[in-house]
A and B are shown apart, each in its own frame.
Chain A
Amino acid sequence: MPDHITLFGISSREILWVFAQLHLNLAAFVIAVPTFALIVEIIGFKTRDKRYDKLAKDFARLITISLSLTSILGAIFLFSIIALYPKFFSYFSQVFSGTMIFYAMLFFGEFISAYLYYYGWDRLKDKKLLHIFIGFFLNIFGIAIMFVANAWVTFMMMPSGVKETGELYSLWSAINNPGWWPLNVHRLIANLAFGGAIVAAYAASNFLSAENENERAYYDWMGYVGNFIAVSAIIPLPFAGYWFGLEIYKYDQQMGITLMGGVLSWLWILQAIIIGVIFLGINYYLWVGMERIKGAERYRKYVPALLLIMTICFIIWFTPHSLVASLEEARKIGATFHPLLSVLGIMTAKNTVVNIMILSTFLSFIIYRRSSKIPNTSWARFGNFIFFSIIAVVAGYIIYLGIKGYYVETTVRINYSMYQVLSVLFVFIVCTPLDIAIYHKSKVIGSIKWGRMPPRSQYMLIVIAVSFTWLMGLMGFARSSSRLNWHVYKIMEDTSPSAFVPSLGYAAKVVSLITIIFFIMIGFIFFIANTLEQRQEEKLKFIQE
């Protein structure tokens, strides 16, 4: 049996790379959308607000079309692996044959529940609980499918349950390998953020092409909900990523070094730029969104300060440790590292600014939430004092740990970054309910004028969605490349000519190609979804006439 096959002169690696990432992007979307369709439907059911039901149905419309496209891509991906890497697939199916049958059954369940969920919407409108129950099962199937696929992917990085020769002795250990749960959690959150961003971009594109005020108002609201989901999910996302990274280091320090400090080290500068753009974009959208809320002018004075903090943090985050300098330039500096970059380019500085950026985004969201309200509780002043004191103390503590991190051993510094993360989590857990309690039964001084958003805010939603997609492609490259020339790390070597880690510049071209193809597909999904909606409206008009 050959080790690998080249198809039409294109290397097997490129073919699989493109199909795998496209399948993953669409799968992430297909798993995320039912989750918020269900959440929005439950909100609509509880509040009896018809708008939520319509929004949830709009989300659900996207599921069936994208599910078909995802399965077609999945099939192409599977046939490509069988055809291009027969030896690898033979070994892999020996290890995971049981899970593969289970995967197919889950997929069948997801298909059935997705179609029942969407096409049963109107028919089950009087049996909402049953409909919600179907939606719940749709989500269970989707998440279970992802968990199975995650076991395969993480096994390739951190193989467990097999002997050194690759012989399987425990299927459960192979599934429950050290990377499985961190990736499950990371992808679950990331999918929500990604799905939210794509839905927001869909709403933005409909907003920009809206025919009238009503349509614009509806899509503005939809964009806001999508972005809100993306913000809520992206805030805890770095913590899940950190856990995954920690498990990689624990499993194999060499792999951790390859990922963070070796051949892939410059990738993290690019990652910082993209995440920085996403964070700035989300904040910008919230700040611009305040313009459509009466009463928000009271908080506008805080925006420049938040922007300044975010910008400083952003610059520090993408500051590299070493310079791209010629020999002559390096001689002029007089040292291996630039005196300023060596201070800002290391992890203690980066961990600090990431946490401050997350805190600032949380603050932006809080002032957006408070824009149209005046607290009505007797203890609001005291509550606010406690609220802002907690944020100030935590911010001070994060900076203190960041500075102290320069003077301690690496092992101690790693613990500091954990304390920083836990401090931010503490703020979320304590300050969110506190804010809700302060503004409980608050006086509303102005309504939100949906649809009164400048077009630039909608372009920002599209930029955020594209950045998310690009980032997913980049991180897919990072995770896969951390195995270097191994199909299954230190168990099964990749001996094909393309078994090397390409340069970042080359990877970026492939990732861009994937992003462009993905958005062509997403455009197709949106087009079909809009056509379906128009047909339904035409039918309704015909019946009414």
Chain B
Amino acid sequence: MAEKYKKKNPVFVFGLTVLLVSLLYTLIANSIPQIEFRPPEKVKITPDMSQMDLARMGKRY
């Protein structure tokens, strides 16, 4: 096998490969469904709440 070798700049070789591979995975990650999880809001039930307030709270959670 007669391979011709040209000396390459290692910074360029490494840098370009790192950028391209990272870009590829980032693109794939951004092209699939995006789901977030946010913790539910805290429910505070106080003695001065009306029946209507309690019912509204119950509907939300």
B55 CB–A CB distance under 8 Å: no
Residues of the B chain whose Cβ atoms lie less than 8 Å from the Cβ of A315? none
Contact present for B7 and A463 (CB under 8 Å): no
Q: List residues 257-287 of chain A with CB under 8 A from any CB of chain B.
A: 258, 262-263, 265-266, 269-270, 273-274
Q: List residues 489-540 of chain A with CB under 8 A from any CB of chain B.
A: 499-509, 511-512, 515-516, 519, 523, 526
Q: Which of A181-189, A362-370, A395-403, A452-460 contacts B (4 or more CB under 8 A)?
A: A452-460
Considering the chains assembled together, what is the distance between the CA atoms of A24 and B32 in angstroms?
A: 27
B47 CB–A CB distance under 8 Å: no
Which residue of chain B has the shortest Cβ distance to A508 in the bound complex? Answer: B29
Number of interface residues of A (CB under 8 A): 52
Option from A269, A455, A511 in Cβ contact (under 8 Å) with B5 = A455
A423 CB–B CB distance under 8 Å: no
Nearest chain A CB to B13's CB is how many angstroms away? 5
Nearest chain B CB to A484's CB is how many angstroms away? 6
Nearest chain B CB to A250's CB is how many angstroms away? 23
Nearest chain A CB to B22's CB is how many angstroms away? 4
Contact present for A324 and B14 (CB under 8 Å): no
Option from A454, A484, A501, A508 in Cβ contact (under 8 Å) with B25 = A508
A176 CB–B CB distance under 8 Å: no
Q: Mark A456-482, 1 if CB is under 8 A from B, else 0.
A: 000100110011001000000000010
Considering the chains assembled together, what is the distance between the CA atoms of A463 and B20 in angstroms?
A: 9
Considering the chains assembled together, what is the distance between the CA atoms of A180 and B39 in angstroms?
A: 27
Contact present for B36 and A502 (CB under 8 Å): yes
Considering the chains assembled together, what is the distance between the CA atoms of A523 and B21 in angstroms?
A: 17
Contact present for A505 and B29 (CB under 8 Å): yes
Nearest 10 A-B pairs (CB), nearest first? A508-B29, A503-B34, A505-B30, A501-B37, A485-B39, A512-B22, A205-B10, A466-B21, A208-B8, A263-B37
Chain A interfacial positions (CB closer than 8 Å to B): 201, 205-206, 208-211, 216, 258, 262-263, 265-266, 269-270, 273-274, 291-292, 320, 324, 452-455, 459, 462-463, 466-467, 470, 481, 484-485, 499-509, 511-512, 515-516, 519, 523, 526
Chain B interfacial positions (CB closer than 8 Å to A): 1, 3, 5, 7-11, 13-15, 17-19, 21-23, 25-26, 28-30, 32-39
What are 24 A-B pairs with beta-carbon distances under 8 A? A205-B10, A206-B10, A208-B7, A208-B13, A209-B7, A209-B9, A209-B13, A216-B5, A262-B37, A266-B35, A270-B25, A324-B33, A455-B3, A462-B17, A466-B17, A470-B21, A481-B37, A500-B38, A503-B34, A504-B29, A505-B26, A511-B22, A512-B22, A523-B15
